[in-house]
Structure 1
Amino acid sequence: MKKKLSLGLATALAFMGPSIARASNVLEFPDNGSEQMARGGAWAARASDPLATYFNPAGLAGQRTALTLQANISFQHTCFSRIKAANDMTDDYVAPGGSYPRVCNDIAPFPNPQLAGAYRINDRVGIGFAILAPSAVGSGKWPTWVGTPDEGKNAQAAPQRYLLIEGHAFQMNPTIGIGAEVIDNLRLGMAFTWGIFSAKLNNAATVNNIDGGQPRDNDLAATAIASDYFVPSLTFGGIYTINDQFDIAGTFKWTDSIKARGNLYTQAEYFTQRVHDGDTSRIKDTDTSYSDCNQGAAAEGKCGEDLARLKLSQPMEAKLAFRYHKPRATALQAHQRDPIHTDVFDAEVDFTWANNSAIDSMEIRFPGDASGSGIIPVNGTPGRLPPIADITRDYKDVFGVRVGGDYNVIPGRFALRGGMFFESNGQNIQYQNIDFVGSARFGLATGATLRLDMGRGEKKDSLEFMLGFMHVFYQKQQNDDPNGNGIHAISGTPCNPTENPTPAGNYCGTGRQKYQTNWPINLGSITSALNVINVGAAYRF
Structure 2
Amino acid sequence: MKKKLSLGLATALAFMGPSIARASNVLEFPDNGSEQMARGGAWAARASDPLATYFNPAGLAGQRTALTLQANVSFQHTCFSRIKAANDKTNDYVAPGGSYPRVCNDIGASPNPQLAGVYRINDRVGVGLAILAPSAVGDGKWPTWVGTPDEAKNAQAAPQRYLLIEGHAFQLNPTIGVGAEIMDNLRLGVAFSWGIFKAKLNNAAVVNNIDGGRPRDNDLSATAIASDYFVPSVTFGGIYTVSDQFDIAGTFKWTDSIKASGNLYTQANYFTQKVHDGDKSGIKDTDTSYSDCNQGPAVAGKCEEGQAKIKLSQPMEAKLAFRYHMPRASALQAHLRDPIHTDVFDAEVDFTWANNSAIDALQIRFPGDAAGNGIIPVNGTPGTLPPVADVPRDYKDVFGVRAGGDFNVVPGRFALRGGMFFESNGQNVKYQNIDFVGSARFGLSTGATLRLDVGRGEKKDSLEFMLGFMHVFYQKQQNDDPNGEGIHAPAGTPCNPTENPIPPGGMCGSGKQKYQTNWPINLGSITSALNVINVGATYRF
Determine which of 6, 9, 13 is the counterpart of 2:13.
9
CA contact (8 A) 2:66 2:119 kept: yes
Tell me the secondary structure at the aligned position of residue 370 of structure 2.
coil
Cα 1:458–1:5, aligned 2, differ >3 Å: closer, same or farther? farther
Q: What are the superposed Cα offsets for residues 30-74 of structure 1, whole Å, 9 maximum, x if unpaired?
A: 000000000000000000000000000000000000000000000
Q: Tell me, which stretches of 5 or more residues in structure 2 are unaligned?
A: none
When the two structures are aligned, how many residues end up with a matched partner? 537
SS at match of 1:8: helix
Whether the 8 Å CA contact 2:194–2:230 is kept in 1: the answer is yes
Question: Corresponding residue for 1:479?
Answer: 479
Match of 1:170 in 2: 170
In structure 1, distance between residues paired with 2:275 and 2:421: 48
**Secondary structure, in 3 states, of the residue corresponding to 1:68?**
strand
1:119 aligns with 2:119: yes
Q: Which shows bigger deviation, 210-219 or 270-279? A: 270-279
Q: Residue in 1 aligned with 2:454? A: 454
**Closer/same/farther in 2, CA of residues 3 and 350 from structure 1, 3 Å limit:** farther
**Would the alpha carbon gap of residues 153 and 88 (structure 1) be closer, same or farther in structure 2, given more than 3 Å must change?**
farther
Distance in 1 (alpha carbons) for counterparts of 2:450 and 2:246: 25
Q: Deviations over 1:250-305 (max 9, x none)?
A: 00000000000011100000012222222211100000111100000011111110
What is the CA distance between 1:2 and its match in structure 2? 5.6
Tell me, in whole angstroms, the C-alpha distance in 1 between the residues paired with 2:322 and 2:407. 17
Task: Say which SS state the counterpart of residue 418 (structure 2) adopts.
Answer: strand
For residues 352 and 203 of structure 2, what CA distance do their matches in structure 1 show?
Answer: 34
Q: 1:199 deviation in Å? A: 0.5
Distance between the aligned counterparts of 1:275 and 1:540, measured in 2? 56
Query: 2-side partners of 1:39 and 1:152: how far apart?
Result: 47
Distance (Å, rounded) in 2 between the aligned partners of 1:412 and 1:403: 23
Question: Is the contact made by 2:6 and 2:265 (CA closer than 8 Å) also made in structure 1?
Answer: no
Q: 2:155 touches 2:273 (CA, 8 Å); kept in 1?
A: no
- After TM superposition, the structure 1 = structure 2 runs for residues 63-462 of structure 1, keeping only pairs within 5 Å, are 63-147=63-147, 154-462=154-462
1:21–1:27: 8 Å Cα contact kept in structure 2?
no
Q: Which residue is equivalent to 1:26?
A: 26
Are 2:454 and 2:461, in contact at CA under 8 Å, matched by a contact in 1?
yes
Distance 1:65 1:270 in 2: 56
Is 2:6–2:223's contact at 8 Å kept on the other side of the alignment? no
SS in 2 for 1:452: strand
Counterpart CA distance in 1 for 2:242 and 2:270 is 65
Give 1:3 deviation, angstroms.
5.2
| Matched AA of 1:518 | N
Query: What residue is the counterpart of 1:535 in the other structure?
Result: 535
Q: Answer whether contact 2:10 2:490 (CA < 8 A) is retained.
A: no
Give distance in 2, aligned partners of 1:273 and 1:106. Answer: 22
TM-score if structure 1 supplies the norm length? 0.98
Distance 2:15 2:325 in 1: 40
- Per-residue deviation at 1:539? 0.3
Query: Identity of paired residues, percent?
Result: 86
User: Take 2:103 and 2:351, find their aligned partners in 1: how far apart are those partners?
Assistant: 36
Structure-1 separation of matches of 2:394 and 2:21: 17
State yes or no: 1:514 paired with 2:518: no
Shift of 1:153: 6.2
Give the whole-Å Cα distance in 1 for the aligned partners of 2:56 and 2:276.
52
Structure 1 CA distance for aligned equivalents of residues 71 and 272 of structure 2: 42
Q: Given residue 466 of structure 2, which amino acid in structure 1 is its aligned partner?
A: M
CA distance in 2, matches of 1:293, 1:230: 28
What SS does structure 1 have at the residue aligned with 2:489? strand
Q: What is the CA distance between 1:147 and its match in structure 2?
A: 1.7
TM-superposed deviation, 1:500: 1.4
Contact kept, 8 Å, 1:6 with 1:310, in 2: the verdict is no
> Residues 333-356 of structure 1: CA distance to partner in whole angstroms, max 9, x if unpaired?
000000000000000000000000
Q: Which moved more, 1:270-279 or 1:159-168?
A: 270-279
SS of the equivalent of 2:54 reads helix
| Secondary structure in 1 matching 2:263 | strand
What letter is aligned with 1:142?
A: W
- Using the TM superposition, name which of 1-10 and 253-262 deviates more: 1-10
Deviation, 1:5, is 2.1
Q: Distance in 2 between matches of 1:87 and 1:59?
A: 56
RMSD: 1.3
Post-superposition offset of 1:458: 4.8
Unmatched tracts of structure 1, length 5 or more: none
Provide the secondary structure at the position in 2 that maps to 1:539: strand
Letter in 1 for 2:43: W
Cα 1:401/1:3, change in 2 over 3 Å: farther
Deviation string 1:212-263 (CA, Å, 9 cap, x unpaired) is 1100000000011110000000000000001100000000000000000011
**Secondary structure of 1:279 counterpart:** coil
Structure 2 SS opposite 1:154:
coil
Deviation at 1:7, TM superposition (A): 2.3
Deviation at 1:499, TM superposition (A): 1.6
Look up the equivalent residue of 2:42 and give its one-letter code. Answer: A
2:54 alignment partner in structure 1: 54
